[in-house]
Chains A and B, each alone.
Chain A
Amino acid sequence: MDAVLEYAPLLWRGTVTTVELTLASAALALVISFVVGLARLSPYRAVRWLAIVYLEFFRGTSALVQLFFMYFVLPLWGIFLPPILAGIIACGCNLGSYGSEVVRGALQSVAKQQHEAAIALNYTTYQRYRYVLIPQAIPMMLPSFGNLLIELLKLTAVTSLITINDLTYMSQIIRAQTALTLEPFLAILVIYFLISTVLIGGMKWIERRTSKGRNTIVRQGA
């Protein structure tokens, strides 16, 4: 264990990379979730289809394959992504496809009457989503987003295979330098567990914050 402790600075840098990768991909995934989730509800068939193609592509293939494709194949076409960016894009796009289903599901579960009330008040489609539907849907999305965030954290471990110096990769370096196996793996398992537990705590905190003062379960009539 001492040898591993000696390499604590590497582990620390890996932890930072992993967290950065997770958060950056999460931001990307969030944007994609909303864009694709809303596109699924578009009145235009073509837009809906594009969204479905996106969804099925990223949900239907392995994240690792996507990662390798972005890292090794895209450059052959002149699309050059630095590894960390390829990692962020692959993780973000992959999780974004799952997130878009969460967004769509939550939006669809907002009562139809809320749509109608907004139309009756002459809101534009944009206003309807921006001010009425999305604010009501967000509290419903949060628990699923929390789970997806953990999936994302775990997914970032895969980026070690395209040489991103994340936690998992650092553990491989430590193994090469020290020829230890149990200790580095145990150490990063614990670190991953701690990170995800902190992330879950953070999401729970946000859930509590957003549900404060308002009750999203609409009590309508008797």
Chain B
Amino acid sequence: GAGTLDEIRERGYAIVAVANEPPYSDIKPDGFVTGAAPDVARAVMKKLGVPELRSQLVPYGSMIPALQARRVDMATSGLYIKPKRCESIIYSEPDLCGAEAFAVAAGNPHNLKTYEDIAANPELFMTTCAGCAEEAYALERGVKPEQIKVFTDPPSGIKMLQQGRVQVFALSGLGTQDLLKKTNDPNLELVMPVKGVPMGCAGAAFNSADDDFRDMYDKALKELKESGEFASIVAPYGFSAEATLAVKRDDFCPGN
């Protein structure tokens, strides 16, 4: 309830669920977690009087149960704001927005530009993460569940693509871009943006009972955005501050 933030302040640090997906999150060899989402959260929480973030790595599929079970105080790092999710958790105002992307074989032999293109060709397989927005996009647009092979982590997904186990890899645009850059495989190619799906916007996510905490967070986030500090945090990671400033939570989940 209302006391969550007080508890965190007393404790001196917040426990934050972070996914293992650059550039949303970026884990340094010494274990320090940065990346666009944790950095934003860190700045916001500092404003709220919490000097430290302790991050816990949680796969996307497990973030909501982790919040519900209060294993973490909040989840950051690119959990898209989706109506279905809003039934279970509450979000801050959007903090990171980006287009969707596919990774495909060089030259895009199947000419895949949209999820509908995948649905139209039941021979093809795609991979994305368990419980991710991309899985929902695909299913909503007619891709059959049998066509989706869920990967345990994004590099495994890219591996599957390289090995031809799947024909398309779907994830957030910047995540995909980052991964392709690191993989540095000339046989792969980026398709961005994927048409026909909304720009994905993520926010910090909270347990549904923590609306007070969330509102305080929103206020601090707003200050951050207005001061321009926000842009200076996310830009180096490749995110566009304007895109984020242009949207509101209510665009995705009215009344959340």
Contacts and interface: CB of A to CB of B under 8 A. Distances in A.
* Binding between chains A and B: yes
Interface of A: 6-10, 13, 72, 75-76, 80, 82-83, 161-163, 165, 169, 172-173, 175-181
A175 to B, nearest CB: 4
A87 to B, nearest CB: 13
Interface size class of B (residues with CB under 8 A): 20 to 34
Interface in B184-224: 184
Identify which of A6, A7, A162, A177 gathers the most chain B CB atoms within 10 Å of its CB. A177
Contacts, number: 67
A176 B21 contact: yes
Given A8-B29, A10-B31, A13-B31, A178 B57 contact: no
Contact of B154 (A8, A83, A176, A181): A176
A70 to B, nearest CB: 11
A165 B153 CA distance: 14
A177 B27 contact: yes
A177 B22 contact: yes
B158 A179 contact: yes
A179 B70 contact: no
- Give the 9 A-B CB pairs with smallest separation, nearest first: A75-B69, A179-B182, A175-B155, A179-B183, A176-B20, A7-B29, A172-B153, A72-B65, A9-B30
Contacts of A179: 155, 158, 179, 182-184
Contacts of A169: 57
A163 B31 contact: no
Given A169-B57, A177-B22, A80 B70 contact: yes
B31 A9 contact: yes
Contacts of B69: 72, 75-76, 80
Given A76-B69, A80-B70, A165-B57, A172 B20 contact: yes
B182 A178 contact: yes
A175 B153 contact: yes
5 contacts: A10-B27, A161-B152, A172-B153, A176-B27, A181-B159
B31 A176 contact: no
Nearest to A5: B29
B52 to A, nearest CB: 18
A181 B161 CA distance: 14
Contacts of B71: 75, 80, 82-83
B121 interface: no
